[in-house]
Copies of this chain bind each other. A is one copy, B any other.
Amino acid sequence: MTTTRVDGRLVRGDNTRRAVLRRAVDIASVDGLEGLSIGRLAKELEISKSGLFAHFGSKEELQLATIRAARRIYADAVVQPALAVEPGLGRVWAMTENWLDYSQRRVFPGGCFFAKTSHEFGSRPGAVREMLATVYREWIGLLEQTVAEAVSAGELDADPADLAVELNAYYDAANLASLLRDDHDVIYTQTRQLIRSRLESAATPEAPLPW
């Protein structure tokens, strides 16, 4: 068996690391970054606890790596497909559709990974909270910029910072409702309609409506 080297790392070890993190994000989305225990993770993957541990060096490093892995999955599911749509109201709507799909399809089995973990660590000082806060600011900033492009294009008339916060509020509310209620279709359908209404009230007469 041959292995190649990437950035001085053996591919064998990197595959393990990837498998660990793929499982880790799923576990954490259900049981949190604290409920994500090293022993359980090793048992489910059928590898040794100490071998797994060696990849990260500490629980906190595992948690940080898990957040980075979740961020990549999130970027692939929500952000990148929206960036393929040209700037303007269409992209704002694409971001909305992608986000609600991401929550509804359960890209993470426990719903939005970041809603879950941000609430878990939001009032616990430390590196984990700092990273989650950074991801939060990144995301709101991206949403704000997306709205700002639509304003520049003359398709929306709104304060980008305000509308970004509002859109994000709708997203998270739908995600939380889906955790506590059984009628998921109702929730996401209602949320889509509410956001359409909100965007219509901010759209200029010339704006082509993307729905």
Contact = CB atoms under 8 A, between A and B. Distances in A.
Interface of A: 29-32, 34-35, 109-111, 115-116, 118-120, 122-124, 129, 132-133, 136-137, 161-162, 165-166, 168-170, 172-173, 176-177, 179-181, 190-191, 194, 201
B176 A173 contact: no
B176 A172 contact: yes
16 contacts: A29-B123, A32-B34, A110-B122, A110-B123, A116-B119, A116-B120, A116-B123, A118-B179, A122-B176, A136-B181, A161-B190, A165-B177, A166-B170, A166-B194, A168-B173, A173-B173
Nearest to A134: B180
A124 B161 CA distance: 34
B190 A162 contact: yes
A123 B116 CA distance: 10
Copies of this chain per assembly:
2
B169 A173 contact: yes
Nearest to A136: B180
Contacts of A180: 118, 122, 129, 132-133, 136-137
A22 B136 CA distance: 32
Question: Which A-B residue pairs are the 10 nearest by beta carbons?
Answer: A122-B179, A169-B173, A110-B123, A119-B119, A169-B169, A133-B180, A136-B180, A30-B123, A116-B119, A169-B170
B118 A176 contact: yes
A40 to B, nearest CB: 14
Nearest to A140: B177
Nearest to A119: B119
B119 A176 contact: yes
A158 to B, nearest CB: 10
